[in-house]
Amino acid sequence: MYTTQMDAAKRGIITEQMRIVAQEENIDIELLRQLVANGRVAIPANKQHTSLSPKGVGEKLRTKINVNLGVSKDCCDLELELEKVKKAIDLKAEAIMDLSCYGKTQEFRRKLIEISPIMIGTVPMYDAVGMLDKDLKDITVDEFFSVVERHAEDGVDFMTIHCGMNRQTAERVKKNKRLTNIVSRGGSLLFAWMELNNQENPFYEYYDRLLDICEKYDVTISLGDACRPGSINDSTDAAQIEELITLGELTKRAWARNVQIMIEGPGHMAINEIAANMQLEKRLCHGAPFYVLGPLVTDVAPGYDHITSAIGGAIAAANGADFLCYVTPAEHLRLPNLDDMKEGIIAARIAAHAADIAKGIPGARDWDNQMSAARADVNFPRMIELAIDPEKARKYREESMPECEDTCTMCGKMCPMKNMKKILNGDDLSIL
């Protein structure tokens, strides 16, 4: 009997989850098993998440996207968050991270896992203060691990845990002044706990204890980047790279215990640094799947950061990133609403698909070729059907209908698609 997907893969066992992923990705099942065995693909699938339709994240697979949601003290509408969950599933996100940090977090988390066929992630550090009802400084090591175990028992498929920011890296942050310090919420909480208690990061010091929990439930650890850059000024600095080296070391320790790993990455980063950072992660972390937030390629676009993120995400994924965390127009400003979430998902899906074309993922170009064929035929119903957001495409079409239905109001009778089709068919042409 195997303990985790990685354990099964190493034993030569093909699990039902592997079969589903191989069929969905159109990849040879034996190749997929090998990729899972050597850690280059993760299939986050907690044994307790019975409604899950598993997805693979990593090498030779489609780029996946994650949606963040959850309640805060200022915005605590659980019904709205559940509506977001259903919308994210409808819009074909592959993962949802519940970042709730206030109120009845377990009740919402359990409901989310119960109804969701897509993988669920959490950041237990966010939940610690609320769940334990204690000031951060007073939380004990045992209590931190009790929160992790609670999330695992509830069925969470992957957890972001900032294991790599040890005291040495924390000192590096203090000695190398950043413009934006530590912008990771979980990372900043851990940094504060370490400073207030003059202790080592418990998830680093007692890493084997974390592995015990994750092996038991087959939870994938998403090794959090506490030192990710929060501005393009801070990218690729000493703290970020030092933490990445530590994450690579922790990756090998997890694999030795058959615990699946993903590595989290930047953040904010200028375009010209992205490709090199993807190569660094793959090299230093031994080819483990890479999960990036953005990267946001400029800091000056609040209200449009779904665009800055999509630009960086497409470049990152084309150069090796495997998993994109969406960013909404509300980033840096407020908790996103339903419309913000949709804009963020569509932007991230465009970035992921563009990268899959560049990576040569089998079948990625087929969708584009079908759309181009529909355009050549001036077939607007088919174009709308194929659109990444059919609802918006239909709305734009219906808001401005042309005189001739087989054109649009941009070109009218001068439509090059329509006219080229007529000329090549030997038909008469009148554009008056």
Q: Which residues are annotated as a binding site?
A: 68, 97, 126, 162, 184-186, 225-228, 264, 268, 291, 332, 408, 411, 415
Please give the distance of CA 193 from its chain centroid, rounded to a whole number.
27
Q: Rounded CA gap, 262 and 323, in Å?
A: 9
Question: Residue 260's closest CA among 54, 5, 20?
Answer: 5
Strand 64-69 and strand 220-223: the pairing is unpaired
Q: Rounded CA gap, 101 and 414, in Å?
A: 56
Question: Residue 273's closest CA among 226, 236, 307, 310?
Answer: 236
Q: Which residues are annotated as part of the binding site for Zn(2+)?
A: 268, 332
Q: Which residues are annotated as part of the binding site for substrate?
A: 68, 97, 126, 162, 184-186, 225-228, 264, 291
- Would residue 334 be called left, alpha or beta, if left means φ above 0 and alpha means ψ between -120 and 50 degrees? beta
CB count within 10 Å of CB 391 equals: 11
Question: Residue 118's closest CA among 415, 323, 340, 393?
Answer: 323
Q: Which residues are annotated as part of the binding site for [4Fe-4S] cluster?
A: 408, 411, 415
The first and second tokens of residue 112, run together, are: 């989310």
The DSSP 8-state label assigned to residue 157 in this structure reads S
